[in-house]
């Protein structure tokens, strides 16, 4: 029954139900209505998934029937209610302002490319291959969300299920994994909408708010992750929705803030770090009459969303299934200070601008100057050339970040080396801040420059009472995240992905530069160039597009699946054998380590069931006819029942059951 049609039908049912709920509640704001519908849809899907999982009945037919019943009931209960939102008025600035129109086109093109890679290119991120798209298809095989038995990677049980709810639902409804990135794509849009809504509520005009919201979708990490089955944008979108509803002022908004908080807690084990920030926001927001309700909503949402921690306690005896014991975090003063300094330097980011490609920023500046010259020849106004010169200068600013980052690294190294802490001085010394990847990138030149420039302008505007004081919370958010993560977590070169929420919240203030049109045009040029560079030079999914660098990696668009997934050469031969020689419906056994990618063995249409085989096992489950044994991995499978079908050049052994279904006792 599952197909693309059933997936679309499920999305329509979710969308209609959530839209009717927002109409019934009388929400009159476009951002509030969209974010509210986003929260309602995810809540409905989670409740349906958990309910059906109890009976192992999370199938396409059962999901559609349940969603259909809830939709009919909602429509009947909300008859006569209309949204009352003037959508044309909300979007009118996009069509009337040339600057916003150009930025909108840039964003649409970027989203289209990201959506295309998410659908037609196999997932290749490390965490997706070993975690996100391991637990989701295993749940799908089981018939719903469950605590998995005999699993290799502890994360597949330790983490709450909310991050993989989207992939599980799309797999179930579509019958394949082509749409597993859909939830992250929706969450990227929610981040843009949330930033727009926050901007409106702290005092920005509609055009300024839309400007900041659109810029969110051009930031490298967000643009790259929107096409993946990871979960960093999922938790960020829920946290931003919670922040928006905490400052919205409507009497129903605290309830949405609480639900959004619960959804965020149900995604990642790192979410509790955000809770003090949300509580502070709940306390500081206006009106003060709703203060207790807002704080209570955040607390209640936290308690409800932490239900999986209780599951971990019951199943494993600890709230996180022993994940925290796998990492040693030195929380001494010097290590925390070093991590804070090193992570702060990583805000300087030129994702995708490697080698000669970085000079595209200079070309963009020349294009801006050329457009200004053409405009001057038409109108003969000197101010046009001056404005063009300012815009071109702004567009070229990223070129200054290259030497600036190297100078910061040198200062950092010399500081800790002088203190005799060479271990801290060399912290991630070989990091390439031009590398573009969904789990490695940061937020590009705009995340470097506007984070500081807009913060200064916002402080001035608040002092002049041009913006609400709550705008300062948006400015402070990245600083809080920097200190909190440096103090509580070990250093990771991929830590930038945890900053999606505070960066999107800070971006709500970036519309302030729209008050200086030449500067804003320069910012648009930077955004367009950054989006092109980060997507074209994605290290995980190389486009193969020749820019200024001569040597380009093979394009992921022309790469066969068996050599594209995992982007690991040692996987080429076994996955090719899997795709070309093993029947689609066969059960596959894996004798691997926790760090090995599992996702490729399911197949894009999820035809194969995957089982795990351990070192001490003399036989595989009865349904398994093929077992893949990684190089140098011991296996006790009996020789009378299992024969080697292939040994690859890299040492993989592919075993096939020979005759008897079980080993002799």
Cβ neighbours of 82 (radius 10 Å) = 9
pLDDT at 665: 64
Which DSSP state fits 131?
I
The owner of tokens 């490298």 is: 220
For residue 564, what pLDDT is reported? 61
| Overall pTM > 0.85 | yes
Q: For residue 546, what are the CA distances in angstroms to 338, 502, 534?
A: 38, 34, 13
Instruction: Parse the chain into domains and list their residue ranges.
Output: 330-536, 561-657
Omega before 287 within 30 of 0, i.e. cis: yes
Measure the CA–CA gap between 522 and 519, rounded to whole angstroms. Answer: 5
Helices (H), 78-181: 87-96, 98-120, 126-127, 133-142, 155-158, 165-174
pLDDT at 559: 80
Which residues of 425-486 form beta strands (DSSP E)? none
- Paired sense of beta strands 624-629 and 587-591, if any: parallel
Ranges under pLDDT 70 in the chain: 1, 563-567, 660-662, 665
Facing residues of 656 across strands?
626, 643
Pairing of strands 610-612, 624-629: unpaired
Pairing assessment for the beta strands 587-591 and 610-612 based on DSSP bridges: parallel
Report the distance separating Cα 189 and Cα 222, nearest Å.
10
Inter-CA distances, 415 with 339, 348, 360, 433, 619, Å: 13, 19, 34, 21, 58
Rounded-to-integer distance, Cα 305 and Cα 313, Å: 15
Residues in contact with 641: Cβ distance below 8 Å, sequence separation at least 6, in sequence order:
619, 657, 658, 659, 660, 661, 662, 663, 664
Q: Residue 466: its pLDDT value, please?
A: 93
Backbone angles phi, psi at 435, to 5 degrees: -70, 135
In the prediction, which pLDDT does 639 show?
86
Residues 6+ apart with CB under 8 A from 380: none
Amino acid 14: pLDDT: 98
Each as own residue / partner, the long-range contacts of residues 251-254 (CB below 8 Å, 24 or more positions apart, any chain) are: 251/290, 252/25, 252/27, 253/32, 254/282, 254/290, 254/293, 254/294, 254/296, 254/297
CA 136 to each of CA 132, 180, 268: distance values in angstroms, whole numbers, following the listed order: 6, 10, 15
- Which tens digit of pLDDT belongs to each residue from 90-116? 888 888 999 999 999 999 999 999 999
- What pLDDT score was predicted for residue 417? 96
Q: How far apart are the first and last CA of the chain?
A: 42
- Residues 578, 596: Cα–Cα separation, whole Å: 16
């Amino acid at each position: 029954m599952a197909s693309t049609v059933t997936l679309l039908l499920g999305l329509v049912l979710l969308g209609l139900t959530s839209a009717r709920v927002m109409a019934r509640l009388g929400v009159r704001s476009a951002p509030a209505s969209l974010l509210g519908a986003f929260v309602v849809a995810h809540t409905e899907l989670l409740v349906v998934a958990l309910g059906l999982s109890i009976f192992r009945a999370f199938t396409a037919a059962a999901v559609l029937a349940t969603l259909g019943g809830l939709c009919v009931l909602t429509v009947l209960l909300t008859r006569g209610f209309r949204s009352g939102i003037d959508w044309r008025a909300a979007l009118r600035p996009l069509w009337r302002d040339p600057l916003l129109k150009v930025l909108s086109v840039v964003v649409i093109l970027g989203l289209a490319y990201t959506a295309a890679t998410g659908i037609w290119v196999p997932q290749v991120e490390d965490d997706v291959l070993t975690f996100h798209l391991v637990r989701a298809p295993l749940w799908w095989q089981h018939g719903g969300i469950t605590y998995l038995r005999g699993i290799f990677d502890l994360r597949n049980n330790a983490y709450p299920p909310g991050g993989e709810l989207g992939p599980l639902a799309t797999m179930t409804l579509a019958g394949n994994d082509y749409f597993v990135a859909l939830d992250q794509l929706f969450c990227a849009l929610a981040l843009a909408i949330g930033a727009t809504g926050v901007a409106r509520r702290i005092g920005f005009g509609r055009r300024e708010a839309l400007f900041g919201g659109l810029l969110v979708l051009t930031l490298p990490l967000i643009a790259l992750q929107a096409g993946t089955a990871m979960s960093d944008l999922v938790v960020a979108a829920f946290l931003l929705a919670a922040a928006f509803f905490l400052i919205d002022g409507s009497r129903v908004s605290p309830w949405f803030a609480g639900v959004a908080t619960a959804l965020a807690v149900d995604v990642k084990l790192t979410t509790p770090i955000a809770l003090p920030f949300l509580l502070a926001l709940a306390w500081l927001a206006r009106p003060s009459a709703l203060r207790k309700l807002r704080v209570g909503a955040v607390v209640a949402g936290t308690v409800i969303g932490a239900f999986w921690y209780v599951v971990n306690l019951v199943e494993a005896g600890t709230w996180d299934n022993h994940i925290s014991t796998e990492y040693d975090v030195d929380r001494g003063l010097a290590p925390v200070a070093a991590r804070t300094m090193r992570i702060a330097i990583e805000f300087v980011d030129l994702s995708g601008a490697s080698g000669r490609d970085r000079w595209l920023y200079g070309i963009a500046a020349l294009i801006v100057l050329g457009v200004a010259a053409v405009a001057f020849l038409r109108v003969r106004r000197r101010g046009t050339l001056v404005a063009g010169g300012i815009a071109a200068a702004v567009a070229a600013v990223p070129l200054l970040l290259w030497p600036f980052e190297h100078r910061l690294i040198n200062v950092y190294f010399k500081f800790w080396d002088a203190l005799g802490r060479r271990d801290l001085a060399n912290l991630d010394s070989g990091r390439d801040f031009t590398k573009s990847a969904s789990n490695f990138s940061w937020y590009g030149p705009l995340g470097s420059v506007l984070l500081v420039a807009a913060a200064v302008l916002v402080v001035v505007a608040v002092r002049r009472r041009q913006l609400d004081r709550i705008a300062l919370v948006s400015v402070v958010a990245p600083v809080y995240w920097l200190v909190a993560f440096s103090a509580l977590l070990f250093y990771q070169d991929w830590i930038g992905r945890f900053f999606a929420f505070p960066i999107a919240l800070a971006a709500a203030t970036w519309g302030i530069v729209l008050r200086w049109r030449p500067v804003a045009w320069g910012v648009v040029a930077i955004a367009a160039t950054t989006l092109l560079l980060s997507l074209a030079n994605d290290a995980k999914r190389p486009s193969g597009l020749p820019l200024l660098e001569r040597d380009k990696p093979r394009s992921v668009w022309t790469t066969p699946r068996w050599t594209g997934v995992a982007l690991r050469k040692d996987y080429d031969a076994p996955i090719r054998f899997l795709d070309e020689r093993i029947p689609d419906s066969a059960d596959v056994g894996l004798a691997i380590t926790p760090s090995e990618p599992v996702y490729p063995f399911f197949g894009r249409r999820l035809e194969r069931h995957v089982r795990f085989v351990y070192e001490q096992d003399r036989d595989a489950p009865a349904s398994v006819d093929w077992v893949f044994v990684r190089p140098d991995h011991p296996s006790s499978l009996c020789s009378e029942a299992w024969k080697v079908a292939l040994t690859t050049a890299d040492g993989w052994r592919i075993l096939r059951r020979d005759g008897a279904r079980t080993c002799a006792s």
